[in-house]
């Protein structure tokens, strides 16, 4: 029999008043926000488009259709860990990192990142981080235990071999782990975590170690020198989530790389967390399917790492985020419990959706050992067009029309500004060439993927003709073959690398409502101009904007002559406050890691942060999982 619980307080009339008040407050703030958006919309309205370059040409017309200089980033790449292992003998750590780095899309940057000098320890760069003394130090007894459950080849203690696991791919973060474990089964992961939890040994789960979840905040002269040397004045934001800070044990998932099951009817793929994204995509390609996500790091990153960072990437517009495409997860909790939620069901409304907690948790709640993911059918027809436009308002109009007119075949909608194309041309990144005859304030890359080429061509042509005749778009080209498709994508994919050559670049990855997307760039420029710190011979050289319009995700890059605290203070916390003020997120894709954790309050309310801390305490009461990261320091 169901009875009312007498310990529960009864609802009173006052409570209803309170509810009503919060509802009113909520509606009021929503109305304010709407009003703000409207204002920003009108503020961004640019001058009417000037008709120019009227015809849409094929890229052949501009001579970019040759295979020379094509960015081969979409070619399959071997497993970098395998390469590193094969080449271990007789090679220095730097050479081995180099071998691994060359398989990343942004290989030139990676190559530049390799240098002879050792990277300073993360703990020295971030003096506010102190080792948690409740964690035990590794002893011989612990090693003996791990030797009893793992093959000796799955245990790494050699100092030189540890280096690759202790540092991130840009060699900016460096931990001091003395032990790497490479379990090959879920049961082994369970035994490892159970032991670590009972013995208070801290753990860092590691996938392909390509994550971007962190950035440097404080500089000293030595570090600055190292960074400049490492990347030729390049990338400011760096990883850190996947490498230890102190002596945490690294649990590398690289040996858990089997495909468990694939259902050719539903497209549900079930695999180990250590499978490399590109390997999975190739596997599916042979079966007429595709992975619902694609990123530059696909040749190295693991699906478990993708899930743990909730990676977005280039296919998000079409297939949505991992919060939607992941059907189930197998996770080992910090106490060794195996949470088997490897469902392949698309519909399941029974209880809390626990898997969602682990998507984007950056290894702080447990180790993902298995992933069930829904793969869509691979499109037979791909079209790519590059457009030149005069204003961000025109980009919005084009985006709106693309949703109306291309609808189900629209698969990517990317944009970049004049500063970005200037850098790509200046540095001729990965053979990228601008096929448009004139330069424009803005560029858009539209991709369609469908099942019927004739149908898609017809739709795309109508869409483009409409845009041209209505003066929404000033110029454009359509790729005629796969090489040209690669060439057009090479421009977009070359922007991060081109930016990295523009000086010391401060990179931000923010999301916000599309109408105010570019206003972040304009406001940043205006701020630096008003402070007279941008221009020839000044602190900053340019502000660059590009990103995924369809996802409301802006990559805001601020190029300076050198990294300095003065420069940082001019950008931060302005950029975070800006994102918060515009209902945005301070981290759209890159996550929180070791340093954005203390900025979480810009995107999440105290109530939400408190609840997150409670979840963490509930699931990981000893705090052994990936400590010092993700949640704010207490």
Q: Which residues bind ligand FAD (CB under 6 A)?
A: 104-106, 169, 204-213, 241-242, 253, 273, 295-297, 301-302, 304-306, 308-309, 311-313, 362-363, 367-368, 589, 626
Least gap, CB of 209 to ligand FAD (angstroms): 4
Cα separation of 291 and 268, whole Å? 10
Q: Considering beta carbons, is residue 196 or 460 the nearer one to ligand FAD? A: 196
Q: Considering beta carbons, is residue 243 or 478 the nearer one to ligand FAD? A: 243
Least gap, CB of 431 to ligand FAD (angstroms): 17
Least gap, CB of 359 to ligand FAD (angstroms): 10
Q: How far is CA 90 from CA 85, 95, 96, in A?
A: 11, 10, 10
Cα separation of 432 and 488, whole Å? 8
Cα separation of 518 and 554, whole Å? 8
Sign of CA dihedral 352, 625, 182, 109: positive
Least gap, CB of 43 to ligand FAD (angstroms): 29
Q: Considering beta carbons, is residue 314 or 570 the nearer one to ligand FAD? A: 314
Q: Considering beta carbons, is residue 238 or 571 the nearer one to ligand FAD? A: 238
Cα separation of 519 and 557, whole Å? 14
Secondary structure element (H or E) that encloses residue 328, with its range: strand 326-332
Least gap, CB of 554 to ligand FAD (angstroms): 13
Least gap, CB of 314 to ligand FAD (angstroms): 6
Kindly report each contact of residues 524-527 with a partner whose C-beta sits within 8 Å and lies 24 or more positions away, as own/partner. 524/556, 524/558, 524/571, 524/574, 524/575, 524/578, 527/570, 527/574
CB 146 within 8 A of CB 179: yes
Least gap, CB of 4 to ligand FAD (angstroms): 42
Q: Considering beta carbons, is residue 189 or 395 the nearer one to ligand FAD? A: 189
Q: Considering beta carbons, is residue 242 or 390 the nearer one to ligand FAD? A: 242
**How many C-beta neighbours within 10 Å does residue 408 have?**
11
Cα separation of 321 and 309, whole Å? 11
Q: Considering beta carbons, is residue 33 or 259 the nearer one to ligand FAD? A: 259
Least gap, CB of 461 to ligand FAD (angstroms): 29
Cα separation of 452 and 449, whole Å? 9
CB 78 within 8 A of CB 496: no
- CA distance between the termini of the chain: 45
Q: Considering beta carbons, is residue 253 or 460 the nearer one to ligand FAD? A: 253
Helices (H) and strands (E) in the chain, counts: 22, 17
**CA proximity to 108, closest of 231, 256, 286, 276:** 231
State how beta strands 259-262 and 268-272 pair: antiparallel
Q: Considering beta carbons, is residue 443 or 628 the nearer one to ligand FAD? A: 628
CB 315 within 8 A of CB 292: yes
Least gap, CB of 2 to ligand FAD (angstroms): 40
């Amino acid at each position: 029999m169901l009875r009312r619980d007498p310990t529960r307080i009864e609802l009173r009339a006052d409570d209803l008043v309170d509810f009503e008040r919060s509802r009113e407050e909520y509606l009021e703030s929503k109305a304010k926000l709407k009003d703000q958006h409207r204002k920003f919309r009108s503020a961004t309205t640019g001058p009417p488009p000037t008709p120019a370059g009227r015809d849409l040409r094929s890229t052949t017309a501009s001579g970019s259709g040759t295979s020379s200089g094509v960015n081969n980033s979409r070619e399959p790449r071997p497993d970098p860990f395998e390469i590193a292992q094969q080449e271990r003998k007789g090679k220095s750590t730097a050479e081995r990192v180099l071998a691994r780095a060359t398989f990343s899309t942004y290989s030139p940057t990676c190559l530049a990142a390799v240098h002879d000098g050792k990277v300073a320890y993360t703990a020295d760069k971030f003096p506010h981080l102190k080792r948690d003394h409740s964690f035990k130090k590794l002893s011989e007894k612990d090693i003996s235990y791990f030797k009893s459950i793992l093959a000796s080849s799955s245990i790494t203690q050699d100092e030189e071999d540890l280096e690759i696991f202790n540092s991130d791919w840009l060699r900016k973060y460096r931990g001091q782990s003395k032990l790497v474990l490479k379990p090959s089964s879920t049961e082994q992961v369970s035994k490892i975590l159970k032991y670590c939890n009972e013995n208070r040994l801290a753990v860092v789960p590691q996938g392909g170690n390509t994550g971007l979840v962190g950035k440097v905040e404080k500089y000293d002269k030595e570090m600055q020198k190292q960074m400049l040397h490492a990347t030729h004045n390049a990338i400011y934001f760096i990883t850190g989530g996947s490498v230890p800070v102190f002596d945490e044990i690294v649990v590398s998932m690289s040996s858990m790389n089997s495909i468990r099951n694939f259902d050719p009817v539903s497209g549900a793929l079930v695999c180990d967390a250590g499978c490399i994204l590109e390997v999975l995509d190739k596997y599916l390609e042979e079966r007429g399917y595709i992975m619902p996500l694609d990123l530059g790091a696909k040749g190295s990153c693991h699906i478990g790492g993708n899930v743990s960072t909730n990676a977005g990437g280039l296919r998000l517009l079409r297939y949505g985020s991992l919060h939607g495409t992941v059907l189930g997860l197998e996770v080992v909790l910090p106490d060794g419990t195996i949470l088997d939620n490897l469902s392949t069901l698309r519909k399941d409304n029974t209880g809390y959706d626990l898997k969602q907690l682990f998507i984007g948790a950056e290894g702080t709640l447990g180790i993902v050992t298995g992933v069930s993911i829904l793969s869509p059918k691979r499109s037979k027809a791909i079209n790519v067009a590059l457009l030149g436009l005069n204003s961000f308002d025109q980009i919005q109009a084009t985006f709106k029309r693309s949703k109306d007119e291309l609808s189900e075949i629209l698969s990517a909608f990317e944009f970049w500004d004049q500063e970005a194309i200037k850098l790509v041309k200046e540095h001729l990144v990965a053979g990228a060439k601008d096929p448009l005859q004139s330069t424009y304030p803005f560029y858009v890359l539209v991709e369609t993927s469908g099942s019927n080429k004739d149908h898609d061509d017809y739709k795309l042509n109508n869409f483009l003709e409409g845009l041209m005749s209505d003066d929404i778009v000033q110029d454009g080209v359509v790729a005629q073959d796969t090489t040209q498709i690669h060439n057009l994508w090479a421009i977009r994919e070359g922007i991060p690398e081109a930016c990295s050559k523009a000086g010391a670049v401060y990179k931000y990855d923010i999301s916000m409502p599309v109408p105010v997307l570019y206003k972040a760039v304009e406001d940043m420029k205006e701020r630096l101009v008003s402070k007279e710190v941008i221009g020839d011979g000044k602190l900053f050289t340019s502000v660059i904007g590009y990103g995924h319009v369809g996802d409301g995700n802006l990559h805001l890059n601020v190029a300076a002559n050198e990294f300095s605290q003065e420069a940082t203070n001019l950008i931060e916390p302005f950029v975070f406050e800006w994102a918060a003020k515009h209902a945005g997120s301070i981290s759209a894709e890159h996550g929180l890691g070791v340093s954005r954790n203390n900025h979480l309050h810009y995107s999440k309310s105290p109530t939400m942060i408190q609840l997150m801390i409670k979840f963490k305490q509930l699931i990981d009461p000893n705090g052994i999982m990936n400590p010092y990261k993700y949640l704010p320091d207490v």
